[in-house]
Structure 1
Amino acid sequence: MSPQESDCQRRHAMNSPATKAPTVVLVHGYLDDGAIWNSVRTVLDEQSVPSIAFELAGMGERASDQGPFTLTRWTDDLESVVRTTQGPVVLVGHSMGSQIAELVAARCADQVRSLVLVNPIPLAGTHLPPEQIAPFQAPDLTLDAQRAFRSSLATAFPAEESDRLAQVALRVAASTIADTATAWNNGHPDGQQPSRYPGGVTVLRGESDPFVTEEIVSSYVTPRFPGAAAQTIAGAGHWAHAENPAAVAAVIGSVVDAAASDSTDGRPADAWTSAFEERTEESFGNALAPNVRMEASALAKPLERKEQVEALMAMASSTYESLEFVRKVQDGPRTYLEWEATAFGGFEMKGITILTRDDEGLISEIAIHHRPLGAVVQFAAKAGAPLTEAGLISADYFTHPEGE
């Protein structure tokens, strides 16, 4: 687990009851500012939905901030906002802001309940050739030119808002503009693979957007999010949130309602089974509470340090040649998972895993029972030995004294 991920989860665990309604965090795009979300926020406020408009460094009220101006820097900044937001979050990003929102959602998956991408630039970037990206790297900042720029990509961009943003753009340093355009054009390496964010995703696109086209969304955005919902915003181009704020706010409100009503009961099992698919310490760590305690038939005594549980589960999951969760029973905070597996050259085994969640929906207690006895012996020997040799878990956890 990276330091950013663990810190984010620790802060979330300390600050946010699972029953708290999500806060909407809104991320603007290229040459815009946080105030572009004002019309959407007005509607959300009428629905008693709390919201925060995040301002990107180098733009808007932060035009005087120093660089670097990269997706990584903005992601670090936004993560800090999410960390200090009490309770769960719904992240909403527009255009370039969608790239940043997705990266933060992946880092703080346990706090970010859902992700809404508005006219999203693919995380992998657009990779426009030099002659096409040049006008974005060094745009004409005169009022008429900025009006023309927005009207060329929009259907109903409010005139007053267009003039206001033209003044906002004038305050942005030329080098910042160039770096910003280069950042979204080049994208992020994570965009070349399925998204690391496992939660719900809604993709909104203005029906007349000539820049983020339907083909771009269907080819490069939604396929990276299994089960993503895609909607079209009528009467809008690239700035759907400014052109039809009521429609965009309605979708965000629905996402918030769904996130607020989503019970935490099923989350531990989903996170646990997903972790077995990824087989990494990070994936198990995302599911575990900081004070997790683990018992298992292959252990002589409980593990009570999170990093040890992560290491053991990553090692154990990698030993399975096949694993199927065949039955699940939910009883309040406890989830009972029955499974069947093969390991160690086709050795067949069965077992039951009991997961107990805390108030955050994170796994605080684990009990794993294998059968037959040979499975217990082999796991203690073959999964325990590498961890002991690496100094991660001492040998006495895998050695059962006589008479016990």
Structure 2
Amino acid sequence: MTQPRSGFRVTCTPASRAGAATVLMIHGFLDDASVWDDVVDAMSGEVGAVRYDLPGFGSRSGSIAAVGGPTLPALAAEAADVLAEIDGPVILVGQSFGAQVAELLAAQQPDRVRGLVLLTPVPLSGTRLPDEVVAPFAALGGDRVTQRRLRAEMSPDLTEEQLDRLTAVGAVVSAGATAHYVSLWNTGVPETSATSAFRGPALIIAGSADGFVTEQLVDAISARFCYPEVKVIDRGGHWLHVEYPGLVAAMILDFTDAVIGATS
């Protein structure tokens, strides 16, 4: 079910029973809301699921110029508008760059967000990589060949079909959007404190084969939370939710059970 909100589409999959929690999902760089589809299917209606395209991606690939390039606080404010339309308890899930947006929103809405799941996360403080390292990422807009190669390198267990699907999703992203978002996730929020402003439970899911979100980076991110839990998927890469949707769904459901109560 897709509903228009705030001028863009939000896809809502209801839970199979009244009163169940809802998972609000925020996708990462080069992606759109469709990358969550297999995870949503694997959750089998035990929780509700809400997802949408960030500006510059998917159905909103042409919107980034109109808004002048969104900031992290602006993206968190947009996510807050989506959150406001959800009834009942919410678990917030952010992947890669989406984890930065998710943490900002969770800190601002602690009464609504009961738990935070960070999937192969970029730290809120940014990656702070040198220009020569991030320049190839910034130049990915419209480059299907390089995008496909990058995804294969960062998620070696992706099938050919999954690579084709992700490449098609990323192909619509403009060079302006990739340059803007790379600057955004690399810079992050400069004044980020050593302790996260979100004081609730947090689950961090990483892949052992992800060369971008390394074990050291995961350790640094988890140390910022009061109640962190870290799960590592063996052989998993950066796009765990596409490579291993069943495992990711099970981890989200187990976390939701622990935080809110039984989902079935």
* TM-score bucket (shorter structure): 0.7 to 0.9
1:163: how far off? 1.8
Letter in 1 for 2:36: W
1:99: how far off? 0.5
Counterpart position of 1:163 = 164
1:110 alignment partner, SS class:
coil
Distance in 2 between the 1:260 and 1:192 partners? 27
1:135 alignment partner, SS class:
helix
| Long gaps (5+) in structure 1 | 1-18, 263-404
Distance in 1 between the 2:207 and 2:128 partners? 22
Counterpart position of 1:325 = none
Q: Is contact 1:116-1:202 (8 Å) kept? A: yes
1:119: how far off? 0.6
**1:121-160 correspondence to structure 2 within 5 Å:** 121-139=122-140, 141-160=142-161
Counterpart position of 2:56 = 58
Q: Is contact 1:75-1:104 (8 Å) kept? A: yes
Equivalent pairs counted in the alignment come to: 242
| Long gaps (5+) in structure 2 | 1-17
1:87: how far off? 1.2
1:196: how far off? 0.7
Counterpart position of 1:37 = 36
Distance in 2 between the 1:134 and 1:87 partners? 42
1:225 alignment partner, SS class:
coil
Distance in 2 between the 1:140 and 1:209 partners? 22
2:226 alignment partner, SS class:
coil
TM value normalised by structure 2: 0.87
Letter in 1 for 2:257: D
Counterpart position of 1:244 = 244
Letter in 1 for 2:208: E
Distance in 2 between the 1:110 and 1:189 partners? 25
Instruction: Tell me which structure has the larger Cα radius of gyration.
Output: 1
Q: Is contact 1:27-1:97 (8 Å) kept? A: yes
Q: Percent identity?
A: 37
Q: Aligned-residue CA RMSD in angstroms?
A: 1.7
Distance in 2 between the 1:162 and 1:69 partners? 28
Distance in 2 between the 1:231 and 1:215 partners? 14
1:202 alignment partner, SS class:
strand
TM value normalised by structure 1: 0.58
1:189: how far off? 3.2
Q: Is contact 1:22-1:113 (8 Å) kept? A: no
Counterpart position of 2:10 = none
Higher helix share: 1
1:86-133 C-alpha deviation (Å, 9 max, x unpaired): 111100110000000010001110110100000111110011111111
Distance in 1 between the 2:176 and 2:224 partners? 32
**1:5-404 correspondence to structure 2 within 5 Å:** 20-44=19-43, 46-65=44-63, 66-67=66-67, 68-139=69-140, 141-219=142-220, 221-261=221-261
1:47: how far off? 4.6
Distance in 2 between the 1:206 and 1:174 partners? 28
1:140: how far off? 6.4
